[in-house]
Amino acid sequence: VTVAELLASGEQLPEPVKGDVLDELRGVLEHAATAAAGNAGWTAAEPLRLTKTSVTWLIRCPRRAVTPGVDGMGRDIALGAVVDAATKVATIRRLDPDDQATAVSAALGWLEVDGDGTAAWLGTLPADERASFMADAADRVGRMLAGWPSLDPSWWPRVDEWVRVHLGGGSISVSGKVDAAFGGPPTARPGVLVEVKGGVWRDEHRGDAHLYGLLAGLRDGRAPAAVATVCAGDGRVNVEQIRPAVLESAVLRITEAMGEAERLGHGEVPDANPGPYCVTCPALPDCPEGRRETA
């Protein structure tokens, strides 16, 4: 299914979760947040700020969760940025899927205005590498645009939409920024959120989609009907229909992450939990468990 097909099938999307179900889930989160913040000392002035990335790593490998990321630009990051930007441009003005060169150039323009380093990085590449990058970017952008919906104001298309919930009197916040959003309150359309990835589908993207569904639901009092993840690397579009069980699993992940953050807040040494993801971990050089995993 493409995003365009998903919106066209709007009538068949599940009835949005709302009312008591969302109230109950908020209650569970509030209870856990108040207890964790009381124990760890987070306050509205000095809150714990969770994102989809920190939630993932607190659960998966706490040691990585406390390891600072490494800033940098490389081919994969730049490809992801171009696809992501092309999606945003296509959400607010028409881009011809058959004219990929124009679409890539519009995406690079968007990134430049955004202050992203992609265009500057591209300028450092030798001509042949730059040409190969542009060809790859055009392929991925073309694949993504082929399934992108045409502009329809009744779906109220938006980009870079923040979804955020404050818990425990503001002592914990959980937030994320959705690449593209369609419908939802105040429109009469079902809400559909879209995450765009420059690479290939990975199962862990499902947890991110569930988290966005929950945060948008708690913000609006009505959950989106679906969260789609578009992967330009392999063309896969994964659609998560946002049902109560999906929201419950997002609540469980957040409470688990808060519990782990609370333990770390007490000075506990973060556990290492090695896995296939160790190869890209910035802590790898100093992590014996990770080095064993990748040996």
- Asked whether position 260 contacts ligand SF4 by CB under 6 A, the answer is no
What's the first-to-final CA gap in the chain, in angstroms? Answer: 39
Nearer residue to ligand SF4 within complex by CB, 102 or 294: 294
Per-residue interface string for the shown chain with ligand SF4, residues 204-243, x marking contact by CB under 6 A: ----------------------------------------
Q: Which stretch binds ligand SF4 (CB under 6 A): 84-92, 179-187, 257-265, 282-290?
A: 282-290
| 59-88: contacts with ligand SF4 (CB under 6 A) | 61, 63-64
Nearer residue to ligand SF4 within complex by CB, 213 or 290: 290
Per-residue interface string for the shown chain with ligand SF4, residues 16-55, x marking contact by CB under 6 A: ----------------------------------------
Nearer residue to ligand SF4 within complex by CB, 105 or 273: 273
- Asked whether position 272 contacts ligand SF4 by CB under 6 A, the answer is yes
Residue of minimal CB distance from ligand SF4? 290
φ, ψ at 246 (rounded to 5°): -65, -40
Q: Which residues bind ligand SF4 (CB under 6 A)?
A: 61, 63-64, 272-274, 277-278, 281, 283-284, 287, 289-290
